[in-house]
């Protein structure tokens, strides 16, 4: 046995653990970098950010924790066995938004065009299950080309698992879909099941069948944006709740929306301190809303005058514009505001506005957001198209949503409240907790002119001067049944208030109702009108 010289040293060797840690860091860097610099440049050239850049904008700096970063598909055939990139085209994980936990998945268009395969879908399933279990919002950053054709039915089954989890999470955690590229087929259905859909103009589209299929089947020529672009879905179809010009603004607004929502259905929305005095008077309202019920005004200006610092986030701003649905704060407390908009169709309820308001009411009720309803409604929109389109069925959706809601509900009648539309707009008779009215209110079965023409038809016809008689009878009807205190005298309005004091009254009522508790009958679920 040879003993080494005490002055010599054995050859140094890097410990295997260090080699493996170095290998781990190399693989992680490869996964973070993506397929190639060229793919990243191509994405940027389209005016689009990469998936990781989007996540960095969404979440608080340094908070993102990735899940299954090194996942790869196991599919074979059609050359797939030679292409097995890390992440498999979707980045999943969690982080924080303003310090609150949020789960996220983001399609990476640079890898298989963001198309969904079996491993890709399994990653999404896992992060959705984690979000439901943790009771935290889920945000999907969508930029995928649909099912991965090379994987066949396995890809389609992956979509089924996503849809099932969307439905399971509905009303349990907030689900927000952000459309940042072309999303077709199954990739469009998951967003439709979520609470909110954001889109970016020119770069994002949603459709079940693309322009090529439309052309082949119907002969119609149309572009991707013309078929399913952001403006189409924000104005015509109502699929998109929000549309923006660029990704940065869009994702910033997603962060703002999250700040207005609770983490789950067992929590209340976050309360923020405000420097806007609860007892701030709003004398401008006396001039902003004309006493003449036939003169239009902008309900948004009324809302801005009432809410904290004039800030609110309107949902479905450009669809069904005769009604406003918006999230705001009153005295620091988040509220959902439903309001008729006299500037659009005189504020009537039609098929689309009834659907829009109904879904918003259901959302607020699911997530413990109190409802404030501002009423100035002349009725339902008459017409053959409306009747044949099912205005009865669609109007019943709003009625059902209000009747089923157990959150605090406050109703304020500004001017007109006629017929069935008055009942539907959260009247006291369908369960509003407290109802206020301004001195300009007119609550009746119909307008005085129409009522007089019906009730006094024969007298008017037999009169020597029908026009004078009609005018006289209109005044009589208005004085007898439509004066501002008629409903209050019968207990159908809790109080008639000074418009300038509206903010203070609403904030006080919300504080009183903060701990409201209401139980619904035991049932599996209701059967709302469809």
Active-site residue set: 185-186, 420-421
Q: What does the block give as tokens for 362?
A: 């259901």
Q: How many Å separate Cα 214 from the centre of its chain? A: 29
Handedness of CA 10, 12, 13, 17 (dihedral sign): positive
Q: How far apart are CA 170 and CA 151, in angstroms?
A: 29
Q: What does the block give as tokens for 346?
A: 């005189």
Q: How far apart are CA 438 and CA 254, in angstroms?
A: 35
Please calculate the CA angle 136-522-530 and round it to the nearest 5 degrees.
Answer: 75
Q: How far apart are CA 265 and CA 369, in angstroms?
A: 10
Residue tagged 């002349």 (tokens): 378
Name 230's Cβ contacts closer than 8 Å, sequence gap at least 6: 179, 199, 200, 201, 202, 204, 205, 240, 243, 244
Q: How far apart are CA 502 and CA 248, in angstroms?
A: 36
Beta partners for residue 339, in sequence order: 324, 374
Q: How far apart are CA 374 and CA 312, in angstroms?
A: 15
How many beta carbons lie within 10 A of that of residue 160, not counting itself? 11
The alpha-helical segments, DSSP class H, found in 233-296 are 247-260, 285-288
Beta partners for residue 435, in sequence order: 411
Phi-psi region of 166 (alpha: psi -120 to 50; beta: other; left: phi over 0): alpha
């Amino acid at each position: 046995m040879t003993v080494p010289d005490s002055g010599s040293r054995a050859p140094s060797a890097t410990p295997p653990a260090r080699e493996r840690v170095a290998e781990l860091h190399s693989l992680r860097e490869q996964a973070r970098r993506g397929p190639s610099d060229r793919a990243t440049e191509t994405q940027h050239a389209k005016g689009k950010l990469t998936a990781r850049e989007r996540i960095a904008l969404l979440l608080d700096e340094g908070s993102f924790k990735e899940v299954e970063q090194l996942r790869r598909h196991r599919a074979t055939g059609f050359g797939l066995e030679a292409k097995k990139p890390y992440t498999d085209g979707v980045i999943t994980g969690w982080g924080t938004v303003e310090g609150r936990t949020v789960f996220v998945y983001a399609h990476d268009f640079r890898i298989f065009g963001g198309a969904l395969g079996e491993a890709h879908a399994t990653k999404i399933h896992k992060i959705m299950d984690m979000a439901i279990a943790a009771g935290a919002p889920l945000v999907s950053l969508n930029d995928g080309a649909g099912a991965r054709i090379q994987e066949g039915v396995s890809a389609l089954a992956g979509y089924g698992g996503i849809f099932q989890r969307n439905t399971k999470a509905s009303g349990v955690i907030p689900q927000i879909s952000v459309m940042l590229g072309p999303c077709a087929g199954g990739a469009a259905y998951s967003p439709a099941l979520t609470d909110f859909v954001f889109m970016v103009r020119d770069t994002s589209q949603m459709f079940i069948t693309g322009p090529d299929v439309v052309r082949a089947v119907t002969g119609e020529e149309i572009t991707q944006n013309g078929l399913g672009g952001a403006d189409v879905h924000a104005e015509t179809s109502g699929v998109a709740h929000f549309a923006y010009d660029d990704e940065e603004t869009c994702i910033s607004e997603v962060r703002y929306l999250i700040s207005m929502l609770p983490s789950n259905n067992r929590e209340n929305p976050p309360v923020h301190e405000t420097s806007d005095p609860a007892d701030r008077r709003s004398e401008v309202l006396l001039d902003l809303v004309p006493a003449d019920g036939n003169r239009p005004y902008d309900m948004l200006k009324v809302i801005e005058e009432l809410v904290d610092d004039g800030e609110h986030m309107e949902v479905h701003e450009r669809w069904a514009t005769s009604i406003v649905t918006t999230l705001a704060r009153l005295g620091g407390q988040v509220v959902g505001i439903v309001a008729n908009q006299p500037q659009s169709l005189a504020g009537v309820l039609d098929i689309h506005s009834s659907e829009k308001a109904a879904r918003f009411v259901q959302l607020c009720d699911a997530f413990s957001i109190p409802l404030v309803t501002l009423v100035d409604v002349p009725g339902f929109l008459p017409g053959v198209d409306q009747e044949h389109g099912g205005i009865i069925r669609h109007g019943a959706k709003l009625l059902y949503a209000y009747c089923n809601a157990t959150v605090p509900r406050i109703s304020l009648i500004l001017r007109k409240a006629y017929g069935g539309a008055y009942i539907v707009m959260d009247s006291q008779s369908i369960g509003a907790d407290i109802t206020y009215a301004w001195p300009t209110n007119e609550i009746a079965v119909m307008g005085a002119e129409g009522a007089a023409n019906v009730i006094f038809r024969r007298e008017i016809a037999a009169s020597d001067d029908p026009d004078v008689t009609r005018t006289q009878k209109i005044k009589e009807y208005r004085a007898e049944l439509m004066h501002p205190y008629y409903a209050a005298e019968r207990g159908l309005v809790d109080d008639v208030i000074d418009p300038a004091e509206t903010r203070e009254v609403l904030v006080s009522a919300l504080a009183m109702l903060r701990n409201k508790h209401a139980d619904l009958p035991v049932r599996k679920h209701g059967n709302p009108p469809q």
